[in-house]
Amino acid sequence: MTTPIEEPVRIHGPKSAVEMRTITADEAGQRIDNFLMRHFKTVPRSRVYRLLRKGEVRVNRKRVDAEYRIAEGDEVRLPPVRLDGGDSDGQGGPGRPSTSLLELIEGSVIFQDKHVLVLDKPAGVAVHGGSGMSYGVIEALRASRPRETLELVHRLDRDTSGCLLIARDRQTLTALHALIRNGGMHKTYLALVSGSWQLGTKRIDAPLATDNRQHGERHVRVAPAGKDSVSVFKPVQFFGSLATLMEVDIPTGRTHQIRVHASFAGHPLLGDDKYGDYELNAEMKQHGLRRTFLHAQQVAFEWPGSGVPFHVSAPLPAELSAVIDAITPMKRSAKRAAPRATAGAAAGSGAKSGGPRTGGARTGGPRTGDARTSEPRADGAGASEPRSGGARASRPRPVGATTSGARTGGARTGGARTGGARTSGPRTGGARADGPKSASRPPRKKSSRGRG
């Protein structure tokens, strides 16, 4: 019997006072929701959006939505909000992320300088609070680094692991956002899609609409009225008919972009419970896949102004590498299957495959042995030279020789044959050459009749 988890005791602090704030030049250009979350550091993201929806936040005495970008000189009304404290034991709660989350996020930092932090974000952690989670990466970083100004440069889905950039000052954030808008930031992902991808390197340019809701959740779809979205898919490794490992570059960064574009191409991401294939996902669970197989592998750009190149990468996490190892035997078996398909055709003679086969050769008529037969030419001569034991035979003589026929041992003498009787009647699919035969005689019976 499972023991119920005891809810932590919440300590509610006093409400803040109403404040009128004039936006400075350093603060200008950012979205109002990001500005509010920086100001109300201990207030959950969901509550910030509720303040905006209710119109409690005003800019120049007018209501604004979350995407409004504040300008220098704007007068922003900051409403009173309750500043919640942490749990009674100080281990987190509405006012502060848990100690375990703080340690996890700080341990995920793989690069930092005076401008940016780069995290190898763990799967299962949201980049910000909301959608049932009070805190995400950015809230945890702000709690552990209270003296810094930290902002998300871009976002990753909750189930996606890999490179996540955090700006450490407003100037850097503005510069990198401009770089993204101009297509100067290159983000590369690794994704495992269903089936054998046969489209080569494929650029998918399909606009995405994010305004659709299903069961209360956002469901992105391809729609002509959506925002421009481009993804470039390149196959890296094939695993038979089960899956293909892809490298994906995204010049644009829309919500669920790779997942929707992969599904649009007919090869949804494996493990994706929203846009993927339910039966395939269930099969992949047998190979250890418990989440969407999507990893932000690397980010590269040139710093605006100086042109100094910047590149950072994060290796595939252990749980996804284990999935690759589990399905690799399928790749090997697929490689072995291809040679077997031609091995029978080439047994001992390098014979050509095609059509039903008897003894490893193509059936253009009755065969004995492994020599290649081919459809006869219109003049009655063989379209290609018969082969015996892999050696090339001489061309048949134009008069008195059949174009093909049953052979014993593959030996051939000019017109008449020695040591190999011709089958009675004309061959199926092989016409005899024009002109009289040089050694024509009626078929013999089994009696001991002498030669004519």
Q: Are strands 161-167 and 294-302 parallel, antiparallel or unpaired?
A: parallel
Please, how many CA atoms are within 13 Å of residue 43, restricted to the half-sphere of its CB?
23
Contact 106, 121 (CB under 8 A): no
Catalytic residue among 157, 159, 272, 370: 157
Contact 186, 75 (CB under 8 A): no
Q: How far apart are CA 46 and CA 84, in angstroms?
A: 14
The encoded tokens of residue 409 equal 């041992």
- Cβ contacts of 294 within 8 Å, gap of 6 or more: 157, 159, 160, 161, 189, 190, 191, 258, 259, 269, 272
**In whole angstroms, what separates CA 46 from the centre of its chain?**
32
Per the listing, tokens 């400075």 go with 24
Q: How far apart are CA 240 and CA 256, in angstroms?
A: 27
Q: For residue 65, indicate whether it is catalytic.
A: no
Contact 190, 245 (CB under 8 A): yes
Indicate which residues carry an active-site annotation: 157
